[in-house]
Amino acid sequence: MVIGDAYAEVIHRGEDPSCRRANLVRQSPSLVAGIALVQSRGGALIEAHPGEVIRTPPGEEHWHGAAPDRFMIRLAPWETDDAAWLEHVAADDHNGPRFSTRTRP
């Protein structure tokens, strides 16, 4: 699930046998800079700041985006080009109560 516009720049694309890649992603207000919001399906809304790392396990349904009033720039490594894009995030979910990565429930 995605909120807002995202602009990805591939900075590394692995070749066989490793297909690891890394993108620099700039995401508009709808982690390198800004404030990121991340939420696994059914989980707490997490707020992350520059220098913090958020990991989502393979296959976990989640959304991520910029806070409504901030841009977000993030480094996004992953293993393949496969992605399952899900439904858009409702404004109520995007603006819900947030937890810091340090106080994550």
pLDDT in tens, 3-58: 557 778 888 888 888 788 888 887 765 477 888 899 999 899 999 888 888 888 88
Residue 1 placed within a domain: no
Establish if 104 belongs to a structural domain: no
- Residue 103 belongs to some domain of the structure: no
**64 domain residue, yes or no:** yes
Q: Report which of 88, 81, 34 is spatially closest to residue 63, judged by C-alpha positions.
A: 88
- Residue 105 included in any domain: no
Beta-bridge mates of residue 53: none
Residue-level pLDDT at 2 = 47
Give the bridge partners for 62, in sequence order: 40
Asked whether residue 67 is assigned to any structural domain, the reply reads: yes
- Domain of 85? 6-98
Note the pLDDT of residue 39. Answer: 92
Closest CA to 77 of 12, 33, 16: 12
Residue 13 lies in a domain: yes
Six token digits for residue 22: 């890394």
Q: Give the DSSP H/E element, type plus range, for residue 36.
A: strand 36-40
Domain count, the chain: 1
User: In terms of pTM, does the model score above 0.85?
Assistant: no
pLDDT digits (tens, 9 = 90+) for 49-92: 888 888 888 888 998 888 888 888 887 777 776 777 788 888 77
Is the residue at 25 inside a domain?
Answer: yes
CATH at residue 44? 2.60.120.10
- Kindly tell me if the per-residue pLDDT of 103 is higher than 80: no
